[in-house]
Structure 1
Amino acid sequence: MFNLSKTEVLGFTLILLLAIVSLLAPLIVSVIPHDVSRLPYAPPSHKNLLGTNDIGEDVLVELIYGARVSLTIGVVAALISTVIGLMVGVTSGFYGGLTDEILSFFTDVVLVLPALPLIIVVAAYLKPSIWNVVLVISLLWWPGTARLVRARTMQLSEGGFVEGLRCIGASRLYIILKHIVPNVTEIVFAKFVTSVAQAILIEAGLSFIGLGDPEHKSWGLMLHYAIRRGGLLRGAWWAFIPPGLCITLTALAFILIGMGFEERSRIKTKEI
């Protein structure tokens, strides 16, 4: 069991609260006061705790449901990109030779591509959808994980215990699944956690410039509508500060957790 640092405890606490809010969104919305008078940019009051947006919708209600969208996109995109990076990294590092050269070349090609501009271009070309956003992010954000996993796999493959397994006739698949993958899970988890933060920020950026899915309003899309439809000019801070703060705190929480696991992974790597 890990002895978590204070920053990691803070990160896990924030993520736990976010997860609870996301899972219990309908129940929470049913008990909080939210007037449906449709008054645009009404300030916070006992009827609307965080005021209303440009079309009179309750900002707090949007914020709660937006947590579901932003968190889903972040977790799913990070999960897909991490799995791709794990598969490529382990295969490249364990088999070596021509396999390593081909996969490393492909990884380097994707790595040197201007990811953010390319994500914007592809997202603009595709139909606005949260799953298209997930697909674009996940297919362009895996090389970093692959590079780290490859390096760790090569280090493990050169270890005595792997050579011993090869000598007694253990299959490559057995060695990979039973001994390589379990020993890279820590670095993979650290990369996954930080990738969630990056995916949430990327999605927020795409939505902010109008490339989000209007049918599933995320925090980034809330910012887009607040700025685009006069919230900033009217001084309606409740329309853009809460979603911006949620994006910042959520990304920070995942980053704090990821930094802690990355530090443990570095220490463990030095001990091998």
Structure 2
Amino acid sequence: MATPPTGAAEAPATESAALIGAPTTGPAGPRGTVPTARALARARRVAAAKDTWAMFRQDRAGMVGAAILLVFVVVALFAPLIAPRELLDVTKQLESPRYAPPSLEHPLGTDNFGRELWARMVWGARISLIVGIAATAMSMVIGTVMGLAAGHFSGLVGGVLMRIIDFFLVIPSLILAIVLSAVLDRGLLTVVIAIGVTSWAGTARVVRAQTLSAESRLYVERARVLGAGHWHIISKHLLPAVMPLVMANTTLTVGSAIIAESTLAFLGLGGAGQQSWGTILKNAMDASATTAGYWWYILTPGIAIVIVVLAFTLVGRAFEAIANPTLRAR
């Protein structure tokens, strides 16, 4: 019996190893590895993130908004180092002048208890940003899930989900948030829940429209024909298609959530004992700062709210232009 030449039996094993991504060797040395599907997907995500960052850097307004937000985030994170908590203690400010106007000694003035407004603003940035981001995250999760389900499922399920979305769209979100804040126990978590539960309907409507558009694409039809289930289609195909729009809508919603928190705090429905910009406005109203001429008591938190909301809006518009190429030329 003739024996096969040397290396003939090793060739199939070598080719099989190359197909599964294992390192192979040949006469000239290592031939490298074949990238796996997971590695290719990771490389695509990294490349997409780099492209998104490159396009975002070209938007000057978005970069300005990001820089402003970075400053406020740093201030909120290092609030205990920037403004010691003793500055907020009323019992330790007995010798401090009340309603002192802005000066070198009191940069932003003092309130009706002699507390420095700049210290209250530093601590208020932490609460306002936490509530805004947490409430927006809750709103985005609920809105994305409801929008995907309403756009993917048809018949009775889709109709019921759309009626629920329409119900929350018709009811004024601020009124419903006030009712929830008044019924539930007062606290930071209550404010987050009240804002998050009442502000998701608009996101759900937008996500549903994008889901209906993605449902008509060929790769979704192919996955359905091949026997893919609802969970596979939603998680692998529809969710990635709507995520750019959701991320752009998130930054726009944070500003609205911060305004809603300030409104609830101004109405006395915020967290008890929590320092926020809305609480400062509420204290200014209780002290009749407008009629008494204590303008710094009102303008300081008001300007801070406007600046942060504007910064989030600029960042959101930049991401919206990235997600929707038709807006880049405008």
Using structure 2 for the length normalisation, give the TM-score.
0.76
Q: Deviations over 1:34-62 (max 9, x none)?
A: 99433211222333221211101111000
Determine the structure 1 residue equivalent to 2:289: 231
Determine the structure 2 residue equivalent to 1:16: 70
CA 268–155 in structure 1, closer or farther in 2 if over 3 Å, else same: farther
Among candidates 226, 234, 241, match of residue 168 of structure 1 = 226
Q: Deviations over 1:49-79 (max 9, x none)?
A: 2121110111100000000000111000010
Aligned partner letter, 1:64? V
Among candidates 178, 187, 196, match of residue 254 of structure 2 = 196
Query: 1:60-139 to 2 correspondence within 5 Å?
Result: 60-139=118-197
Q: Does 1:27 align with 2:86?
A: no
Bigger Cα displacement from structure 2, 14-23 vs 40-49 = 40-49
Determine the structure 2 residue equivalent to 1:56: 114
SS in 1 for 2:177: helix
Using structure 1 for the length normalisation, give the TM-score.
0.91
Cα separation, 2, equivalents of 1:173 and 1:69 = 37
Q: State the structure with more CA Rg.
A: 2
SS in 2 for 1:40: coil
- % same residue: 36
Q: Give the C-alpha shift of residue 142 in structure 1.
A: 0.6
SS in 2 for 1:233: helix
Larger RCO of the pair (alpha carbons < 8 Å, separation 6+): 1
Cα separation, 1, equivalents of 2:319 and 2:160 = 30
Determine the structure 1 residue equivalent to 2:237: 179
Cα separation, 1, equivalents of 2:190 and 2:198 = 12
Q: Is the 8 A contact 1:193 1:258 kept in 2?
A: yes
Cα separation, 2, equivalents of 1:24 and 1:83 = 29
> How many equivalent pairs are there?
267
Determine the structure 2 residue equivalent to 1:218: 276
Q: Give the C-alpha shift of residue 217 in structure 1.
A: 1.6
Aligned partner letter, 1:66? G
Residue ranges of structure 1 left out of the alignment (5+ in a row): none
Among candidates 262, 265, 272, match of residue 207 of structure 1 = 265
Cα separation, 1, equivalents of 2:177 and 2:229 = 40
Cα separation, 2, equivalents of 1:217 and 1:112 = 32
SS in 2 for 1:41: coil
Q: CA RMSD in A?
A: 2.0
Bigger Cα displacement from structure 2, 43-52 vs 176-185 = 43-52
Cα separation, 2, equivalents of 1:258 and 1:239 = 30
Bigger Cα displacement from structure 2, 180-189 vs 61-70 = 180-189
Q: Give the C-alpha shift of residue 214 in structure 1.
A: 3.1
Cα separation, 2, equivalents of 1:168 and 1:124 = 51
SS in 2 for 1:50: coil
Q: Give the C-alpha shift of residue 256 in structure 1.
A: 1.6
Cα separation, 2, equivalents of 1:214 and 1:230 = 21
SS in 2 for 1:232: helix
